[in-house]
Structure 1
Amino acid sequence: MARWEIKNVRLTGVAMSVPSKVVDTHDFDFFSSEEAEVFNNTVGIYRRHIAPDGMCASDMCQVAAEKLLEELGWERSSVDVLLFESVTGDYRTPPTSCILQNRLLLSEDCFCMDIPMGCCGCMYAITVAGNLLTTGNAKRALLLVGDTALRMGSMKDKSRVPLFGDCGTAIALEYDETAYDIVVDFHTYGKGYEALMTPHGGFRHPITPVSFKYEDFGNGIVRAPIHTLINGMNVFSFAISRPPKSIELFLADYNLDRNTDIDYFLIHQANKMIVDRIVKKLKFPQEKVPYNLEEFGNLGGASIPSLMVTRIREQLMKGEKTLLMSSFGLGLTWGTMWIKTKPMIIPDVILI
């Protein structure tokens, strides 16, 4: 079983940056006014922040990291681990984490690693870094999680374009023998990988002239093999079935009462229909489930840290809070994480 109880690791702070450009659903020319309203009311995404040409996920993550390091008062040389979680790295090679080590002026002794795990990325990064810190051999970790997901798809693909926003986050973890355990549970259904994928551009299907040839699939879906695709029905079925079952088992295994033992349920902000269905199926108290997709859209791996910054920032800064996180996406992968935080450092959202 892919389950860990990570000891001696504290979540110290979170920061978030987004591009200043905001695109309203009504701004998309493939939507009529009526269609835009239907999309807003069903999918629940009204606006999203979009990075301009030349701005990468690493740029947004760097801004968030600089601010977080400043407010934490961490010396750059004290960061032992740097993870960059993104599916939109600067280059195919080298790893973007290595580039960020230099840009952030971190020590040459810093362990760097890229993790391209998509919507589960934040929880993967916490799991990897947590296991590196738990023995005390490394003391501090900086996790940079973000994407410019819009660029991965076709701007003519009505099924994908309006879903995503761009964002960069930074998460600080620190070795702390007084910290509460972090418990994480992961699963993988590799058979379903084709539901979320980019067909061309890797070594299985290298880029050729055919990679850029558009095909009309009907219903406003026009894309080429170089673009990321979403099989909406398969993803929806997966998201409302496997993750809730795992959460239910997790709660039972650890004897957690959803009404009294959890302060907030942080669910990956894929779309309103999916989140609503999970909340209803698991009978979560609605007041304990923050949403921010109406303002930011699906932020991939940055979705959960963005909820911390935009919706429960004051609560996390003031006192201890118990969080249950659920993510699901590429792979297909899904996971559940329980974490009890001490008062954290959380700067307000940074517009760039």
Structure 2
Amino acid sequence: MARWKIKNVGMKGVAMAVPKNVVKTSDFDFFSQEEAEVFDNAVGIKSRHIAPDSMCASDMCQAAAEKLIEELGWERDSIDVLLFESVTGDYRTPPTSCILQDRLALSENCFCMDIPMGCCGCMYAITVAGNLLTTGNVRRALLLIGDTALRMGSMKDKSRVPLFGDCGTAVALEYDETANDIVVDFHTYGKGYEALMTPHGGFRHPANPTSFEYEDFGNGIVRAPIHTLINGMNVFSFAISRPPKSIESFLADYNLDRNVDIDYFLIHQANKMIVDRIVKKLKFPQEKVPYNLEEFGNLGGASIPSLMVSRIREQLMTKEVTLLMSSFGLGLSWGTMWVKTRLMVIPEVILM
């Protein structure tokens, strides 16, 4: 079973950076005003921050990291681990984490690693870094999580374009013998990988002239094989079935009362229909489930850290908070994580 109890690791801070450019649903030329209103109400995503072509996920993550390091008062030489979680790295090679080690002026002794796990990325990064830190051999880790997901798809694909926003986040972990355990549970359904994928551009199907030829699939879906696709019905069915079952098992296995033992349920902000269905299925108290998709859209792996910064910042900065996190996406993969935080350092949202 892919389940860990990570000891001696505390979450010390979170930061978030987004582009200044905001695009409302009604701004997309493939929507009429009426269609935009229907989308806003049903999907729940009313605006999203979109990066210019000159801005990469690494740029936003770097801005978040710089601010977080400053407010934590960490010496840069004290950061032993740097993870970059993204599906939109600067290059195919080298790893973007290595580039960020230099840009952040971290020690040459820093362990660097890229993790391209999409919507579950934050929890994967915490799990990898947490297991590196738990023995005390290394003591501080910086997790940079973000994407410029919009440009991965076709701007003519009505089924995908309005769902995503761009964002970069930074999460600071530290070896701390007094910290509460972090408990994480992961699952993978590789048979469903085609529901979320980019068909061409890898080594299975290298990019060639046909990779850029657009095809009209009807219903406003026009894309080429080089673009990322979403099989909406398959993803919806997966998201409202497998993750809730895992959360129920997790709660039962650790004897957690959803009404008493958890302050907030942080659910990956895929879209309102999915989150609402999960909340209803699991009977979560609505007041304990923050949403930010109406303002930022689906931020992929940055979704959960963005909730921490944009919706429960004051609570996390001033008291102990118990969180249950749920993410699901590429792979298909999904996971549940339980964290009890101490007072955290959380700068306000950074606009770039």
In structure 2, the residue matched to 1:249 is: 249
Tell me the distance in 1 between the aligned counterparts of 2:344 and 2:259.
24
SS at match of 1:109: coil
- Structure 2, unaligned stretches of length 5 or more? none
Q: Deviations over 1:42-81 (max 9, x none)?
A: 0000000000111000000000000000000000000000
Tell me the distance in 2 between the aligned counterparts of 1:312 and 1:157.
33
How far residue 280 of structure 1 moved from its aligned partner, in angstroms, is 0.1
- When normalised by structure 2's length, the TM-score is 1.00
In structure 1, the residue matched to 2:112 is: 112
In structure 2, the residue matched to 1:65 is: 65
Tell me the distance in 1 between the aligned counterparts of 2:269 and 2:338.
18
1:347 aligns with 2:347: yes
Tell me the distance in 2 between the aligned counterparts of 1:60 and 1:46.
22
SS at match of 1:338: strand
1:18 aligns with 2:18: yes
Q: Deviations over 1:176-205 (max 9, x none)?
A: 000000000000000000000000000000
In structure 2, the residue matched to 1:285 is: 285
In structure 2, the residue matched to 1:171 is: 171
How far residue 126 of structure 1 moved from its aligned partner, in angstroms, is 0.1
In structure 1, the residue matched to 2:327 is: 327
1:40 aligns with 2:28: no
In structure 1, the residue matched to 2:187 is: 187
In structure 2, the residue matched to 1:309 is: 309
In structure 1, the residue matched to 2:81 is: 81
SS at match of 1:316: helix
Tell me the distance in 1 between the aligned counterparts of 2:191 and 2:332.
8
How far residue 140 of structure 1 moved from its aligned partner, in angstroms, is 0.1
How far residue 109 of structure 1 moved from its aligned partner, in angstroms, is 0.2
Tell me the distance in 2 between the aligned counterparts of 1:108 and 1:222.
46
Letter in 1 for 2:351: L
Letter in 1 for 2:334: W
- The alignment-based identity, stated in percent, is 88
In structure 1, the residue matched to 2:318 is: 318
How far residue 38 of structure 1 moved from its aligned partner, in angstroms, is 0.4
Letter in 2 for 1:178: T
1:154 aligns with 2:154: yes
Q: State how 1:221-300 maps to structure 2 within 5 Å.
A: 221-300=221-300
SS at match of 1:114: strand
SS at match of 1:155: coil
Tell me the distance in 1 between the aligned counterparts of 2:53 and 2:92.
18
In structure 1, the residue matched to 2:140 is: 140
- Structure 1, unaligned stretches of length 5 or more? none
SS at match of 2:23: strand
- When normalised by structure 1's length, the TM-score is 1.00
In structure 2, the residue matched to 1:338 is: 338
Q: Deviations over 1:242-284 (max 9, x none)?
A: 0000000000000000000000000000000000000000000
Tell me the distance in 2 between the aligned counterparts of 1:53 and 1:275.
30
SS at match of 1:100: helix
Tell me the distance in 2 between the aligned counterparts of 1:38 and 1:249.
35
Tell me the distance in 2 between the aligned counterparts of 1:72 and 1:238.
39
Tell me the distance in 1 between the aligned counterparts of 2:17 and 2:351.
6
Tell me the distance in 2 between the aligned counterparts of 1:64 and 1:138.
22
Tell me the distance in 1 between the aligned counterparts of 2:111 and 2:246.
32
Letter in 2 for 1:329: G
Q: Deviations over 1:211-239 (max 9, x none)?
A: 00000000000000000000000000000
SS at match of 2:193: helix
SS at match of 1:30: coil
SS at match of 1:167: strand
Tell me the distance in 1 between the aligned counterparts of 2:223 and 2:52.
21
SS at match of 2:178: coil
Alignment root-mean-square deviation, CA: 0.2
Q: State how 1:94-113 maps to structure 2 within 5 Å.
A: 94-113=94-113
Tell me the distance in 1 between the aligned counterparts of 2:26 and 2:225.
27
Letter in 2 for 1:73: G
Tell me the distance in 2 between the aligned counterparts of 1:76 and 1:59.
18
Paired residues, number: 352
How far residue 241 of structure 1 moved from its aligned partner, in angstroms, is 0.1
Tell me the distance in 2 between the aligned counterparts of 1:75 and 1:66.
11
| Over 3 Å off, 4+ runs | none
How far residue 96 of structure 1 moved from its aligned partner, in angstroms, is 0.1
In structure 2, the residue matched to 1:92 is: 92
